[in-house]
Structure 1
Amino acid sequence: MNNFDQTTYSGSKSINESVNGSHDFTIRGYSLAKGMGAGKYISSDTFTVGGYDWAIYFYPDGKNLEDNSTYVSVFIALASEGSDVRALFELTLLDQSGKGKHKVHSHFDRALESGPYTLKYRGSMWGYKRFFRRQSLETSDYLKDDCLSMHCTVGVVRNRVEGPKHFTIAIPPSDMGQNLNYLLETETGCDILFRVGDETFKAHKLILAARSPVFRAQFFGLVGNPNMDEVALEDIEPSIFKAMLFFIYSDTLPDSQQFTGSMSTSTSTIMIQHLLAAADRFGLDRLKQLCEAKLCEEVNVDTVATTLSLADQHRCSQLKAICLKFASANLGAVMQTEGFKYVEETCPLLLSELLETVASAAVDERSGEGGLTRKRSGSSIIGLDLAAAAGAVHMVVEDDPNVRRVRRRA
């Protein structure tokens, strides 16, 4: 009698893969960083890849004393606790002439030859003591307007084991938002009518009350009227109210093209700015946060001043801090925009905060601290003299019992 039919089989898979992430590091005011001394470095913000924090260290006078500042050194360092962290690295010094002749040092290309690099503990580094001869660097297309830009990629090696797959049943994603939006689009069971400008919108009081504390109070609060069937709204555009209704029913940020008919970035930014104000007005905190995140992605020289004013007015602290930092780093260009003129005329205290941000960046640079430590996908070191900042924007703060004004002088 044989027992072959009683034999059991099993199997598993060991999978080695890399979790990749990138960081852009810009050094502005390169010439001001020279003379720090060998072994002293400028650090980027920390950035997270594969569950570990990393930082880029740039040594303007080189890492080795014996090189007599002949070379600049660049390293990628493990900035969080960890032991035997295996990773691949790539450092790229960007050609700023537009020719695309970047200087690339890639560990990814050599992975098959030597395998990943192992970092033993926090502070371990991978990089080059003689990354670039300094004299050559300073006459190359990699340095433009006293600015250097680098791109860093880290690939943290992970291992996982997959056992045998069991039978599974796929669960479709939630369609609650689609179902509720269908009620809005078909006006099924609507019991309230909104008049917004020359347009009207039907909706459901219970759904609005569930999503917005303002509507809840208006329809079902102590002084609310559950029997009202019509509301007139002022100080809001029909397209913005329609977009807000879309969010209330679907819980997603609407596509600006759907509501404005335009694909331009400027139109999208303006719509999101108005939508943020509406979200604040009706207590839609999640919509407000989504608008903040979207405006943060779209911050540029042309929009930063108006977005800064909006963030200050509607108490968006994170967005305000980002706008202040961006504006201070691009002050000359920002001052030429219509948005900056509007801020000058209507929000003088914001100009004072902006000047404080410029001064703080300059002080941090002089002390070698390099600015904020917030994690993000890119960072800049700005070489800025306080005297230069004062030359870029002269501001006078006048104290008065009733008003505190800040004005710009030519």
Structure 2
Amino acid sequence: MSSFAGVSVVEDGGLCDSTVAFINTSSECGYHLLVVENYSRTNKSRPTSESVTSREFGVGGHCWLIKCFPNGKSTDCADFVSLDVVLDDDDDGKTPVKAKFTFSFIDQVEMQNPLYVGQAETCSFPSKGSSWGYDRFVRKDAVERSMNLEAECFTIRCDIMVCNTEDDDAAGHGNGVRLPDICHHFNNLLQTKVGADVTFEVSGETFPAHRCVLAARSKVFMAQLFGPMKETSTVIHIKDMEAKVFRALLSFIYTDSFPGMEMDDMEDDETEVDEMRLQWLQDLLVAADRYDLQRLKFICEMQLSENIQVSSVASTLVLAEQHHCSGLKEACFKFIQAQSPSCLQTLMASHGWQHILATYPLVLNELIAKLIALNQK
């Protein structure tokens, strides 16, 4: 998995101001997002061979830049958008930096796996200013027809993998990213508001974010932020969600990694920790379904399926029914079928089971049908 290395927002052909000029990740594999807003104006302001440039960011111990040529890098490719990744280290004269890289639109998730990046050609960057890229990355007319341009914007993701052949230990863990690293860089983004153009207020906490990034990952955010009934306010209030859940949701959107539960919430009692994690996972699944983040929803389903208990199966089954999680529902049925008579008595006496009886009788009918079929076998 790649580590998050920041966001650059280009608007009307220029780089938006920010309070932080450099975001670094120590991981050998990281990615930076280049958000281009008001595409038409950016396109007009940059003739062929002129680029818009990201802010500097760090991956694998080196500094990098992204250059985007809206009208092509040269007259030979004037009908294309050209992209370059540029080494921006200050110290020249060292061993050339060897790295692999890929460009993709942010919604092209299959292109962003480190295994895919690792298949790219290794390029040598001998000194500051050395660059490699794609003169014909995508045709301009294809960009202009893209769904990402409903909001006159698109987001390019640049994945970089530094190839450290002299350090076997570093190469051994180059494809891995520790959760604390991801959380650190994501929290740094929230605190510094790098290029943010919208703020969410959730249960008393504020979260700056980028409209284009959210819209590119979620059709719900696209409709909310750019649709006919879009929110025009720069502060959007969400009153029916906990701040820690929304923070996890944003973390997934920006890092494409499953977030860990916040350590500040942990208690010494193991039972309390399990209960809190269960509630957190259930709330995160609801949030993922609400914003149509299907991969996050699927991961939550898998996590919940692997941690079903007698005390939680009723609430989990209700959740699965409400949010159309067929896999999680089936896992609950299998868990119930495997229980002893005494455990089933405990389950049926619980408040959660009484809620199922009163509210979801069809679920009970489905379970009974499965139990009958199992006994017949």
TM-score category (smaller protein): 0.3 to 0.5
- How high is the TM-score relative to the length of structure 1? 0.44
Determine which structure has greater relative contact order: mean sequence separation of CA pairs < 8 Å that are 6+ residues apart, divided by chain length: 1
- How high is the TM-score relative to the length of structure 2? 0.48
The structure whose Rg is larger is 1
